[in-house]
Amino acid sequence: MAAVRSLSVVSLAWLLLLGLPTWSWAHGFAGQRFFPTTLAVEDPFVSDELSFLLSHTKEPRQGEEPPTGSTEFSVDYTKRLTPRLGLSLGGSYLHLNPEEGSTENGFGNLEVGAKYQLITLASSEALFSFGLTAEVGGTGARSVGADSVSTLSPTLFFGKGFGDLPETVPFLRPFALTGAFAANIPTRKQTVTTQVDPLSGELSQETELHPITFSWGLTLQYNLQYLQAFVKNVGLGVPFNRMIPLVEFPMETCLNRGCGGQTTGTINPGIIWFGKYIELGAEATIPINSRSGKNVGALFLVHFFIDDLFPHSLGRPLFP
């Protein structure tokens, strides 16, 4: 019954999203600062957008589970209800290739969410947003690690451009910092599974704990278009004049239930190119410790600005 209810919620979310009807570009600006969609740490803006993300990494050994090559393809769609409030729906498909045993393929749990842009300060190139995301337990395949329990994630976002720094440090002004901080709260503390030994017929119980975790991530960006337009034209041509070199720091700290204080994460150097309608990005993912893995992975992003592709229809807020 829980799975049926979860699927009903997801179906309703899909129906709501699908039924919703330059520096003047609609997306990503606080004053003259453009904040791009980042690959690993969610950006603070609310906009109509469609993202495709491909990731590949090798997960470390976890208990009896062997090291596993993991390839994940994710899709995320966001639709604005008002200029400041948006709904999102996301899903992923995973291919797991362990060093021992057979490969597994399947969908991860679906995610539904909402984000509200609280404050936008144009003169300070700053903004703050609040969001709530729900990973709907039981909508994905257990064989690829999809949890049976749902998780709620209230999140605070911020973005700050350094364009208000004094003119004595002009080449620092293209820098910007964004961040996201979320508490990930499972709807159940633990799951108890009863198993029957096929030979003896004896019953045994296995308990899986669902800890609360804290996700915290930062990005440091350097916008080359901002450099040319608002600091100094250094003569960059296509495609460099629309590039943003960046480093992302997506981290997660476990808070209780057997793993309190343990932190995992990566350092992701990369680059983003953006146009009026599309954004492309690529990053390396470098583990910060042995719990996070031993191998460098990769992330690739293709992102569409629906608000600029279809400004008078699909990309327009429902209540402008």
* Mean of per-residue pLDDT scores for the chain: 90
Query: Exposed/middle/buried for 200, CB within 10 Å: 0-12, 13-18, 19+?
Result: exposed
Whole-angstrom Cα distance, residue 243 to residue 240? 5
Q: Report whether pLDDT(125) > 80.
A: yes
pLDDT score, position 205: 81
pLDDT of the residue at 20: 39
pLDDT at 204 (0 to 100) = 78
pLDDT band at 226; cut points 50, 70, 90:
very high
The confidence score (pLDDT) of residue 26 equals: 56
Compare 8 and 51 and report the one with higher pLDDT.
51
Q: Write the CB contacts of 33 (distance below 8 Å, at least 6 apart in sequence).
A: 125, 159, 161, 163, 176, 223, 226
Instruction: Dump pLDDT digits (tens) for 274-296.
Output: 999 999 999 999 999 988 988 99
Q: Tell me what pLDDT residue 18 has.
A: 39
Tell me the percentage of the chain whose pLDDT exceeds 90.
Answer: 77
Per-residue pLDDT for 7 more than 70?
Answer: no
Q: Domains (ranges, CATH) in the chain?
A: 2-187+215-309 (2.40.160.40)
Q: Which residues have C-beta within 8 Å of that of residue 268, sequence separation ≥ 6?
A: 39, 40, 247, 248, 249, 250, 283, 284, 285, 286, 299
| Residue 224 CB neighbour total at 10 angstroms | 19
Q: Residues 211-215: what's their mean pLDDT?
A: 97
C-alpha closest to that of 13 among 88, 108, 123, 102 = 88
Predicted confidence at residue 258, as pLDDT, reads: 87
* Residue 254 pLDDT greater than 90, yes or no: yes
pTM for this model (two decimals): 0.87
The proportion of the chain whose per-residue pLDDT surpasses 70, expressed as a percent, equals 92
